[in-house]
Amino acid sequence: MDWSPHIVVRADDDVSVPTAVAALKTFSTGFPDHKATVHCIGLKARAFCKPWTTEGGHTLLDYSSTIKTSQLHFEIVRRTRLPIAIIAGTTVFYEDVSEYSTTKLFGADTIPEWSLTDKIVNVESVEKTLIFVAKPTAVIATLNEMTKFISPSTEVESNDFSKWGGQSIVMGGKIYRQTSGIFNMIFNYDPSLMTNFSSKTADKYETVFGGSAISSTMANLEATGHDTSSYMPFVNAALNEDWEGVKGYRKVFIDSIS
């Protein structure tokens, strides 16, 4: 399948810039002989994104720091009919993933249900590091079908920045949270519309969890009783472009929250 790669880069602080652009640094490994569209949110990472796109013949699109990643994902999908790969800037590629194929609407990895606190449960979700969207028009059609009775048409979504945000319900003395984004809405609506990555595919890349906002992400996890000491060796490896040292971060993160 011929994928058009879209890299979404967001760095919320200066220290996170090196990890927020890991996907650009390793892009040629994951998508050899491809040209990417880089969606740069805010100004902090632009100093890296601008020369990288210019020198490599890629495309750079700039966005205000106020735009939500979930909103941008919707806009990227809505504006194309061709297969696309949506890549988080914090992705580290170890092998070519461009030969991936799926017959479903999209393919991605998942994160199992986990408890943020004894009262707050994050339901199983799509892991948004790398998402192959094979059928963009079908994704939008599914969203229209899902939301037609509860919210305005997605055709006017560009004026609604909150629609694709995380959802929460209170039930049985607990708060259940659904992670933001159109792919999580579809996954929770009908998991059969998505292909879950095999271990062979998942092993071809890694993610720097929290790499877009290192300080605040670690502080938030620590505030809810999570030990982040096991994460920092991987984060530091990414900051130093020691990509081999980043391997295993996803497993450590998931094991720590399970």
- Predicted local confidence at residue 159, as pLDDT: 47
Q: Enumerate residue ranges in the chain where pLDDT < 70.
A: 151-163
Q: Would you say the pTM of this structure is higher than 0.95?
A: no
Question: Cβ distance 196 to 109 under 8 Å?
Answer: yes
At position 4, the amino acid (one-letter code) is S
Distance between CA atoms of residues 114 and 256, nearest Å: 10
User: Could you please report the per-residue DSSP string of 189-213?
Assistant: H-GGGEEEPPHHHHTTEEE-TTTTS
- Predicted local confidence at residue 5, as pLDDT: 98
- Predicted local confidence at residue 177, as pLDDT: 80
Question: Cβ distance 56 to 83 under 8 Å?
Answer: no
Residues 6+ apart with CB under 8 A from 207: 88, 90, 91, 92, 127, 129, 130, 249, 250
